[in-house]
Structure 1
Amino acid sequence: MQDGQTFFSLNKRLDWEQGYDANIAMSDQGFSIQQTDKYSIHRIVRTDELEGIPGIVDMTVGPGRKLILLDESASVWVYDDESRHRELLFRHGHELFSPQAMLASMADLLVIADAHEGSERRLAVYAISNGQTMWAVQEWEGLKLYPLAVNTKLKTANLLYVTVPLDIEIGMNGRPEVPPGGRIGIMQWSSAGEVLRVFEHEALSMTEATPLSKLQDRYYTAAADGTLALLDTQQRTVTVFHEDGREPLLFSLEQEGRFAGISIDTNHNLYIGDSGFAQQEGVTERFILKYRGNGIPADKVTGFRGRADKMTMDSRDRLYVFDRLSGQITLLDLRARTMLLEGSQLPEAVYFSADLDTGDTETIWHKIRLEANIPEETLVRFSYFASDESEGLIVGDYLNYTSYLTDPTIPVQTKVMATAGLWSEPILNPKDALIDAQGRYLWFKIELIGSEQKTPFIRKLRVYFPRTSLIQYLPPMYQQDDTHSPFLERFLAMFSTFFDDMEDRIDRISSHFDPDAVSGTYLEWLGGWLAITEHEAWGEKKLRELIKRAPELYKLRGTREGLLNMLQIYTGTEAFILEYFQFRQMQETSELRKLFAQLYGDNPYTFCVLLKPECVRTDAQRLIVESIIEDQKPAYTEGKLIVLQPWMYADMHTYLGINTYLSEPTLLTLDQRSSMPYNTVLIDVDRDKRMDIHTRLGLDSEIE
């Protein structure tokens, strides 16, 4: 309707990549603010609210995300926090382990390590289903085991890691201790109770004699595929072992805190908890620390600020944090969080465009149309400026605008401040807006402001030029009024957008009639033109082919060929049609007349459609086939559907090469004197004539 209107369109990734972006996630569909997965609280289990269960002293996560709890009476419970169902696995008084034991899980096995001096089972593995002992050990190669920490490998939970002293002596007080230079190692056990490997590092040696009692709650271990980590809370160090033989990594914890608990996710990131008291002097906030696999600190887990005495992680990277003091278990789940823009530390992003060049000076730009998804609590700001020159003054220097705006070496905050005087007033959340700019080149800036979890998403942008308006179709007096014409022009722009959209839909209306170009409801709508209502039974592929071949099929309607084609489209295989004239001569034989009448009928205006059973598996498919036969049959005729069965019955629908085949005999040998063909059908004769069991009316059953 408006002649001469052109536009720049940015709707592909390549178009947007001509500019410069900061904190933006680009995709083929558009762009948004970058997001990352961060831990936040999903559920809190307060074990003090569980009736009948004493205070919890340790926990682990078993199969099906069930919690396995050890209480202060040494009883073990299996608790489902979703259904709140609990079962007692080990009752008080079992004398297998003490309340000071440590728990870990290996698939459907429960590992209990107990360093208590009176314990006879220092390391034992039990079946979680019934508590049966799978294996238990007291020592290894003459070394009495004193487990200090226990954990299993993430995902492949068939390996067990137990931290133990490798050198033990009896001290002056008659109690066991680790001598000066004594080693602390991590033993790798298989699920069958076999030691596969021992991990050691010189940094884990004792500098002085240390009683075993003082080593309790000092070490924590965690394992993932290929990585094993040991936290020494007294030395404030983490030792990372690599199963591929690389040199172990040792790094120190520089942050303040009373550390306890360590875990590794599937990306080999390390998480370390803090067991400090909130009311302790100088302790204001507690965070879970996060380190990369190379020991470099990463962002803290700010979604949890509670006490952590133990941490464990399941195969889906869900983190469980146990606070022994309050008996509280917190489940942290990964959720998408909007990343912060460097410099502003706010959840926002900035995009600077390259120049849009019309080739003509003094071009009057018309409007923009932005396709975007802008959730609540988010915002999009669009700013622009135009010039006939590609260069201009920026912070005292004469620079090329595009080169400066798209230079990746210049910080985004520097660009924003240096070009603040160039941009127009921002248009907030624009979808269709007029712009007031004149010049050969146009530059624009898009600012995305998100929330903690949400971000705007930009899909497409069109920038129209030159300025056109419906006001040109009004009498000259409306165009020459300098006072009211600008307002009238903006008012008519709303109707201009409506007409533009309508013209676009009219231009693209033919695509809605192309069965290859539409899907879903549009395809069903086209199918409705052919009186097809059972869209789900046809499916998109068959429905699309039927619509494309409709002109050809309707010419053949009422013919044998037309019916075969329709059945071919729906069933995907060729049907067999048997008409009266094909067996009329055989029916004249007296001995076959009754048989043919039984199989095909004796009406010369009746025909039979034979289909294999895989074509008609359900009653719904049978109804569709019968409706096709009814719609496509010639007038004054009757069509019968016969579903063939893949076996041979005398005097029934048995057709050689169709549903019955002759082949070389293949025998199943039962013994040296008996054999049976592989396709023999065994039936129970005495079960005939019973409903739903070998009952075929007219063959072995009759209704009287």
Structure 2
Amino acid sequence: MQDPYQFFSLNKQSDWDKGLYYNLHMISGGLGLHQTEKYGIHKVIQPEEMDGPQNPLDFAVGQNGKLFVMDERAVIWSYDAENQYTEQLFRQGHDLFKASAVLAASKDTLYIADPNSERRIAAYSVSNSQQVWAAQEWQGKPLYPLAIVSDSQKRLYTVIPLDMIIGMNGNEEVPEGGRLGIVQWGSGGDVIRVYQHDSLRLEQATAAADLLKRYYTAVNAVGAVYLFDTESKLVISFDEDGTLAVQFSIAPKGTYAGLSIDTNNNIYIGDSRYVGPDEEDERFILKYGQQGEFQAKVSGFRGRTDKLLLGPRDWMYVLDGLTGEITLLELQPRTMELEETSLTEGIYFSHALDTRSTETEWHRVQLEALIPDETQVRLYYYTSDRNEEWLDGNFTDLSAYLKEPIIPLRDKLKATRDLWSEPITNPRDALLMNATGRYLWLKLEVVGSERRTPVLTRLRVYFPRKSLISYLPSIYQEQQDESRFLERFLALFGSYFQDMEEKIDHISKYFDPNAVHGQYLTWLGTWLAVHEDESWGEEKLRQLIKQAPELYKLRGTRQGLLRMLHIYTGAEPYIIEYFQMKQMQEKSELRELLSRLYGDNPYCFCVMLPQECVQTDKQRLIIESIINDQKPAFTEGKLTLLQPWMYMDMHSYMGINTFLSEPTLLTLDQKSSMPYNTVLIDLERDKRMDIHTRLGLDSELE
């Protein structure tokens, strides 16, 4: 047996925090790369895949992500993308609206706004396509809806001209300085509020038809309303009470369409420019913060955007009006890049590991980590008998220098590049070669992929160096290249013996039911002849193992059976034995009832449990097996489940599964109630005046 090794261990956040890390943080009990959620393509829905819509022009997202798609014939289809099921809602030739309509949806209601039809705004039930409400005018003037959106409360928001006149050509137009606003409609079609601001006035007279496809609107989860003017590139938002909240202009030149708000109040605007077949597609969805600050381009999607919506779980739906494709984007984990290198990696510098003994020969390093494919961990080390090193022309405390957050990472890497050893890649268990000195510093490079990151849970560094070569004759210990190879070769066996001795030293932890889980807990149960079943669960099995010695003493007794059943079910069982009802058996009027409920066998007992303790047949079999294992010899146990209602002459027990409460009023709605003593029907009092006389039921007129 070798002398025990000493080691430094980094396995808790407090250990890792003694060093300094870049683009790394503690996740799932370990150290990993920073990750964020970014949009990536989940699915591209082609028109032919929907098997119905021809050249889709508009769409809306309904409950559970169901799509409502309108094609160039003004036919609307319902499409379930997950199950690829298409159903027609409005057939061709319905004359309710035209292809110029725009759609919105909320729960079981579909909203359709069309300035070129008789019903300018209408709400329809998704289940039967019946109209719920409709509106043709507002304040005595015809409605001219330009954009619509609905919220989760089934309120509709429509962008309309507030000032509109009939021009010389007989068409509707908005005069110079005319106002635009957002009208909020309730679930029943009543106007609740109008959002307006001077920045929404038109600088010159404009035909109403020229305003189509110019405005987009959106609403967030708390009722704030947004409007985007694609011509002036102005974004304006109102709080729920109608006050102006934010107003900003987007800087990039180009043509834009679509507006949507996520649950974090980030603003998304699409790019609708035309790109030729030979041009590189640089059209991205732009992301802005809630105050209008530009954040990023949604790099997970490139293409044309004619309508942009956010559905459940912040899934994003993008319509390309030219191809009719609807692209579904989902939030996917993305590894963040290290700012200094623009790579998906992180850097960790440890504090100085001090042995307090000069010329210490460091032995090996062990790393416990989850390292997915296409990722890796590279470990560098440096040892010295002094804490100060020559850096940038000065003697500098290396630990303080590496841990100083003000010094840029780029400068640290440049100043220390000649100190570090050659990298050890994925050092599950590696020797530290030529590592002699009182102090040891580690540098870890954690390299991730686009979506995955290594997670470092524990790092151990052992010292001093002790090799099995010391047990060989002196000729094998000479410092030659051959002996170095032999030393490394024997280190494989030394590591094996060391790990084995360490497990033996800590073998006692495997005998503690509070410290083990999984297969070790099952194995520990076999020592006590505990039959493990998946329906027990770890916590119940742990309690059974802990109480097993005491339970074996009580086996075959009433108390032992009660404790076993309580451990498994979590409920207090009730046991009825023959002697408890022996005196009642002597009464003839009760003998038959008691025999039917509990039996008349003096060696039979009844175990009663609440019905919710037995959800499956398998649980019932386990409970019955517990009763058979724990019952006294030559006896029989009968399991009875107590139903949560009252039955006469059955297992109904006051205070256990049957309760009597004070009478209460029957509430018909929030304003009306019926006293508990009201007679609802009394057929015996028929044909009497002033007493429940009902024509056609218990009374007739001749």
Q: Give the TM-score, by structure 2 length.
A: 0.86
Residue identity in the other structure for 1:39: Y
Q: Secondary structure at the match of 1:112?
A: strand
Provide the C-alpha distance between the structure 2 equivalents of 1:248 and 1:456, rounded to a whole number of angstroms.
43
Determine the structure 1 residue equivalent to 2:387: 390
SS of 1:524's partner is helix
Q: Does 1:100 align with 2:100?
A: yes
After TM superposition, the structure 1 = structure 2 runs for residues 59-78 of structure 1, keeping only pairs within 5 Å, are 59-78=59-78
Gapped regions of structure 1 (runs ≥ 5): 676-704
Pair 1:480-2:478 in alignment: yes
Q: How much does 1:589 deviate? A: 10
Q: Which residue of 1 aligns with 2:431?
A: 434
Match for 2:125 among 121, 127, 151? 127
Q: Which residue matches 2:451? A: 453
- The answer as to whether partners of 1:382 and 1:446 remain within 8 angstroms in 2 is yes
Contact 1:277 1:283 in 2 (8 A): no
Residue of structure 2 equivalent to 1:161: 157
Q: Is 1:185–1:198's contact at 8 Å kept on the other side of the alignment?
A: yes
Paired residues for 1:197-346 under 5 Å: 197-224=193-220, 225-243=222-240, 247-279=244-276, 284-346=281-343
Deviations 1:241-292 (A, max 9, x none): 3336664322222223311111111111111111111218986411111111
Aligned equivalent of 1:495: 493
Distance 1:164 1:508, change over 3 A: same
Q: How does 1:384-423 map to 2 (within 5 A)?
A: 384-423=381-420
Paired with 2:160 and 2:663, the residues of 1 have a C-alpha distance of 67
1:573 aligned partner, one-letter code: E
1:420-443 Cα shifts (integer Å, max 9, x gaps): 111111111111111132222221
Alignment of 1:353-364 (within 5 A): 353-364=350-361
* Residue identity matched to 2:679: D
The answer to whether the 8 A contact 1:41-1:304 is kept is yes
Distance 1:590 1:183 in 2: 92
Structure 2 distance, partners of 1:659, 1:243, is: 50
Distance change (3 Å), C-alpha of 1:609 and 1:531: farther
- Counterpart in the other structure of 1:20: 20
Q: Give the C-alpha shift of residue 362 in structure 1.
A: 2.1
CA distance in 2, matches of 1:56, 1:492: 72
Q: How far did residue 57 of structure 1 move?
A: 1.4
Q: Residue 577 of structure 1 contacts residue 607 of structure 1 at CA under 8 Å; is this kept in 2?
A: no
Per-residue deviation at 1:594?
A: 9.3
SS in 2 for 1:56: coil
Change beyond 3 A, Cα 1:215–1:369: same
Unaligned runs of 5+ in 2: 665-674, 684-702
Q: Deviations over 1:185-207 (max 9, x none)?
A: 12222222122222223222211
Could you tell me which amino acid in structure 2 is paired with residue 62 of structure 1?
A: G
Q: Is the CA contact (8 Å cut-off) linking 2:50 and 2:86 kept in structure 1?
A: no
Opposite residue 474 of structure 1, the aligned amino acid is L
Letter in 2 for 1:5: Y
Alignment partner of 1:576 is 2:572: no
Residues 292 and 598 of structure 1, relative CA distance in 2, 3 Å threshold? closer
Rate the CA distance shift 1:94–1:431 in 2: closer, same or farther, 3 A. Answer: same
Give, in angstroms, the shift of residue 663 of structure 1. Answer: 11
> Deviation of residue 313 (structure 1)?
0.9
| 2:182 match: secondary structure | strand
Q: Name the structure 1 match of 2:461.
A: 463
Say if 1:113 and 1:659 are closer, same or farther in 2 by CA, change over 3 A.
closer
CA deviations 1:154-197 (Å, max 9, x no partner) are: xx252222111112223343432222211221222222212222
**SS of structure 1 residue aligned to 2:495:** helix
Aligned to 1:34: 34
| Seq. identity, % | 52
1:468: how far off?
Answer: 1.8
Residues 237, 244 of structure 2: 8 Å contact kept: no
- For 2:347, the aligned partner's letter is V
- Which secondary structure does the structure 2 equivalent of 1:535 belong to? coil
Structure 2 match to 1:682 = none
Aligned to 1:671: 679
Cα pair 1:612 1:659 within 8 Å, conserved: no
Against the structure 1 CA distance between its residues 541 and 226, is the aligned structure 2 distance closer, same or farther, given a 3 Å change threshold? same
Using the TM superposition, give the Cα deviation of residue 648 of structure 1 relative to its aligned residue in structure 2, in angstroms.
7.6
- Confirm or deny: 8 A CA contact 1:524 1:535 kept in the other structure: no
Corresponding residue number in structure 2 for 1:687? none
Task: Give the alignment's TM-score, normalised by structure 1.
Answer: 0.86
Comparing 260-269 and 143-152, the one that deviates more: 143-152
Q: How many residues align?
A: 667
Q: CA deviation at 1:323?
A: 0.8
8 Å Cα contact 2:27-2:455 kept in structure 1: no
Equivalent position amino acid for 1:198 in 2 = V
Q: Distance in 1 between matches of 2:289 and 2:216?
A: 18
Kept in 2: contact 1:189–1:196 (CA 8 A): yes
Does the aligned pair in 1 maintain the 2:109–2:124 contact within 8 Å? Answer: yes
- Distance, in Å, in 2 between the alignment partners of 1:597 and 1:254 is 88
The whole-number CA distance in structure 2 between the counterparts of 1:658 and 1:63 is 43
Q: 1:434 to 1:163 in 2, by over 3 A?
A: same
Q: Counterpart of 1:88? A: 88
Question: 1:551: which partner in 2?
Answer: 549
In the TM superposition, what is the alpha-carbon distance from 1:43 to its structure 2 partner? 0.8
Give 1:527-566 correspondences, 5 Å limit: 527-533=525-531, 535-559=533-557, 561-566=559-564
